[in-house]
Amino acid sequence: MSSAVSLPVCALCWSVSSGEDLYMTRALKLMSETPLIDGHNDLPWQLREQFNNQLNKVDLNTLETTHTNIPKIKTCRLGAQSILFPSFFPFWSAYVPCESQYKDAVRKTLEQIEVIHRMCQKYPKTFTFATSSQGQGTAFGHNETASLIGVEGGGHSIDSSLGTLRTLYHLGVRYLTLTHSCNTPWADNWLADTGSELPQHNGLSPSGKQLIVEMNRVGMLIDLSHVTVRVMHQVLDMSKAPVIFSHSSAFAVGPHKRNVPDEVLKRVNETGGIVMVNFYDDEVTFSHTATLANVADHFDHLRKVAGAGIVGFGGDYDGVERLPEGLEDVSKVPHLVAELLRRRWSDLEVKAALGNNLLRALKRAEEVRDRRSHPSHADTSP
């Protein structure tokens, strides 16, 4: 996305008082030129849990029981001062729990996708539904929040049906997390690496490999958060398009099995993928407490091992119960950007992490889709 997009005057209100931190001023300027794309936000799940998806019972302008609402999306708090938060583009997560596998997972997934669509319809001046790398440019130019969809239910969200996968793509889903915290009929989940759960497939099953091919064909990003290390390597071996980790961090910094080991980070760099850093305390520090600086350590490690080209933001807001001090809700993210600048990240590196890396991966997936969309390549499996 070009930084030369003409913005409304209000979108340039990033200047702060003369006594304000210069790194924050610079962070907000960069964010006015390149929107933050957050790989994973669970606000739709909170709408289900707290309001049974009845949007008439909630106002996102006044909701205070979530990490995400419209004021927090639009406003950054700097001490006692409030200023405009430059563009924030989330992948809203259409999540359903493992307990729904082999039961009503597809129905619940469709309901979560539908509530995201209704959320955009209810707040059209704030949210613009987007399904492509180009669609985000339109929202950015109008100072709106581009809303994308990722499905976190893993294999149980499509009930082992490639037809359901294709239907989800038509409904706007642009990534699928292969597993959550349970094995699916085609892939082992991360708990198998902890020893607390037995692997069922030694990575990907034959149907799992078929799924990877079909996701490439339709243009859906493959999300490797929540899978075993063996699955990570198998998918990296197979996929023709870049993969993403929508909300995972660096294992070398936080030794949690949900995080990504260095040998995988290097392969993600080689294949044009992206690792979007998770803010969940347990995965940041492998303990119940963390700070903004601890999160920045993960960003630094990713850059050191594999380059700034693989780095992204995957906060997991409204999907976790504990968040680092200094990153308590979405309005605090500019403080993390300022911290990266304080650590001598260049403007180009920050813009890459903010959104350009994810846009590159999404555009590449679209190019692979377009090359493979000829009828001779089509998969007709049910």
Q: Does residue 152 fall inside a structural domain?
A: yes
* Residue 181: both structure tokens together: 């915290």
Please give the residue range of the domain that contains residue 55: 38-372
> Above pLDDT 70, what percent of the chain?
87
Q: Is the pTM of this model over 0.95?
A: no
Q: Does residue 207 fall inside a structural domain?
A: yes
Answer yes or no: 152 catalytic: yes
* Residue 209: pLDDT band with limits 50, 70, 90: very high
Answer yes or no: 226 catalytic: yes
Answer yes or no: 117 catalytic: no
Q: How many domains does the chain have?
A: 1
Residue from 33, 156, 159, 180 carrying the catalytic annotation: 180
Answer yes or no: 316 catalytic: yes
Q: Does residue 33 fall inside a structural domain?
A: no
Task: List, for residues 48-59, the tens digit of each pLDDT value.
Answer: 999 999 999 999
Residue from 152, 159, 223, 300 carrying the catalytic annotation: 152
Task: List, for residues 339-367, the tens digit of each pLDDT value.
Answer: 999 999 999 999 999 999 999 999 999 99
Q: How far is the C-alpha of 182 from the C-alpha of 244, rounded, in Å?
A: 19
- Decide if pLDDT at 138 tops 90: no
Which pLDDT belongs to residue 75?
83
Answer yes or no: 374 catalytic: no
Q: Does residue 18 fall inside a structural domain?
A: no
Q: How far is the C-alpha of 16 from the C-alpha of 368, rounded, in Å?
A: 43
H helices of 259-328, where?
262-270, 281-285, 292-306
- Decide if pLDDT at 133 tops 90: no
Answer yes or no: 67 catalytic: no
Q: Does residue 13 fall inside a structural domain?
A: no
* Pairing outcome for strands 81-84 and 75-78: antiparallel
Indicate the range of 106-115, 150-159, 259-268, 299-308 predicted with least confidence: 150-159
Q: Does residue 30 fall inside a structural domain?
A: no
CATH code, 322: 3.20.20.140
Q: Average pLDDT, whole number, for the chain?
A: 90
Which pLDDT belongs to residue 5?
32
Report in angstroms the alpha-carbon separations of 80 from 16, 70, 77, 334, 337: 12, 19, 7, 15, 19
Residue from 67, 226, 256, 298 carrying the catalytic annotation: 226
Q: Does residue 69 fall inside a structural domain?
A: yes
- Decide if pLDDT at 252 tops 60: yes
Residue from 33, 38, 40, 349 carrying the catalytic annotation: 40
Residue from 67, 156, 201, 247 carrying the catalytic annotation: 247
